Structures are given as C-alpha cells and as structure tokens.
Amino acid sequence: MTYTRREFAGVLGGALAVGPLARVAFAAQASKIAGVRIGTQSYSFRNIRDLDAAIAAIQAAGISYCELWSGHVERVTVPEGGNRREATRRWRIDTPLAHFEEIRKKFAAAGVTLTSYDVPFRADFTDEEMARIFDIGKAFGVNVITSSTQVSLAPRLQTFAAKANMKVGFHNHGRIAADEIATPEDFANIFKAGPNMAATLDIGHFTAAGFDPRPFLDANHDRIVGMHLKDRTKTGGNLPFGQGETPIRDVLTRLRDRKWDIPAHIEYEYQGTDAVEEVKKSLAFCRQALEAK
C-alpha cells in the first residue's frame, strides 16, 4: 500500500500534522541506548513509499538512526517503450547531488541521522554508475554503502570504495548458494578483496543460514560496519523480537560491554499490525536488553 501524506496522518492516529516535516509537532526519541546506536532500515517502512511520510514514520517510532533503502529514494520514470534498467541508470547518474543533500536535510530536521545507504550493486553497473552511487552516499553524509550483491563483485567494488574513501557493507541472506553472501567463508572471501570491503551483518539471516552471529562478531567486529536486527528461526521464519532463535540480546550486550560502535538497524519483516508500532516494539526490546544489568 502507498500512503499520501494526508492518509499517513491517519495511520499515526493524528500524532503528526499534515504538511512539511518542519511543522511536525514532536521530535524523535533518541535511540542511542547505553552507548549503542539502535536505528532502523527504512525498508521496515516499505509500504510507505512517500519519502516524507516514511521519515515521519521513522520519527514516530522513536528512531534516531537510519540506513536508507534506495527504494525510498529512486523515483524513476520509464518512457513509453523504454527500458527500466537503463532509465534507473540514467536517473542515478543525472540526478543532481543537491537532490540527495536535500533528502539528508529532511532527515536531519526530523532528528534522524543517516548511517548508510543501501543499493544492490550488480555486475551490469557501468563504471560511471558505480562511482555515482558513492557520490550519492557522500551527499547523504554517510561513509558506508550497504549492498545485497555478489561475492565476485568485491574486487571491483574495492577500487571504487577506496577512491571514495568509503566502505561497502556486504549484506548476507539465509540462502547458501554460489556467489551469494550467507556464510562466514563468503565474508572471508569478501574481506580478502581489500580493506574497504566490510560486512553489514544480518543476524537473523545468519541464524537462518545455520550460523551463530556471536563468534562471527567477536572475530570480525572491526570489519562489521552495520547490523540488521531481526528474529528468525533456524528453519527460516521471521518472528517478533524475542520469539525466534536469533541471539539479539547477546549481540546487543556485546556491542554495549565491548564498546563496539556498530549501528544496529531494526529491520521489520514479520507479519505484524503496523510498521510504526512493530518497530516501536522492537526498539523497546532492544532498550530492555541494553538497560538490563
């Protein structure tokens, strides 16, 4: 479902005023808890395609850090008879960087700091397109591009990331397959490509793939530039925090106690009632875990 700003006001039960974000009547609750940055992947609000409404939803959930999903940014018009892939490439290359700087300002005005930008790199990206993604990331004020991509692209991405002085956080999934990112060995091969190649560790997917994120975090915390928090079972189901088999509490307390400054982003994917309410519940779970002795 796609919401207009006016419709979204109803979703939030009247808590937000309809209109520019500058007139939103409340500020986001800080979500840095016991020194740990708890944010969200804006994909959690994928049913809200309007960017201003998505920012308002993140704010309403009490979140002050965000990994920005490209699906909330890229608004590509495909001409009749045109090719969507080529239209997307041209949009990325031709859209002025000032456009992305304005998006960054909107998040800042809402009290939300962007931590990373999520774009799925593919082998068919031209050099110009690939370089442009890093320019866009800089316009957002981030130094990490998160990507669900292929292991084999790491050497090529290392060249562009090093030139931009940025990191690429390779995002893992639960399916183990050739050239996909799922196992500790996949990450080890990525890291070999160079110092700018890193991990955005999805601890739920890692669990579903049959691995424990805790020893991986212990061994590789200096190569992990972000996390996705979700609760999954070892057979793959997505569940509310605390109901699956993902050791979310242990991971969070490791970040707290060892002072590893790795942003941990809630990614809402299970079937719940409302994205704002479910992210709030997930944030409350994180808060309880981090504030417990």
DSSP state for residue 150 in the 8-state scheme:
-
Q: What is the pLDDT of residues 132-160, one digit of tens each?
A: 999 999 999 999 999 999 999 999 999 99
- Please list, in sequence order, all residues whose beta carbon lies within 8 angstroms of the beta carbon of residue 251, skipping any fewer than 6 positions away: 203, 213, 214, 217, 227, 229, 264
Provide the angle, in degrees to the nearest 10, between the axes of the packed helices 213-220 and 184-191. Answer: 20
Residues 101-117 pLDDT 10s: 999 999 999 999 999 99
- Which amino acid, residue 56? A
* Residue 131 confidence (pLDDT) above 90: yes
Domain range annotation of the chain: 5-15+28-75+97-291
User: Which CATH class name applies to 5-15+28-75+97-291?
Assistant: alpha beta
pLDDT of residue 286: 98
Per-residue pLDDT for 17 more than 50? Answer: no
| Residue 230: both structure tokens together | 């979700």
Q: Indicate the helix (H) or strand (E) that contains 278.
A: helix 275-291
pLDDT band at 29 (very low <50, low <70, confident <90, very high): low
Which residues are CB-neighbours of 121 under 8 A, at least 6 positions away? 130, 133, 145, 147, 149, 153, 157, 168
Percent of the chain clearing pLDDT 70 (strictly above) = 90
What mean pLDDT, rounded, does the chain reach?
91
Cα 112 to Cα 67, 84, 247, 270: the distances in Å are 10, 31, 27, 24
Position 10 scores a pLDDT of: 44
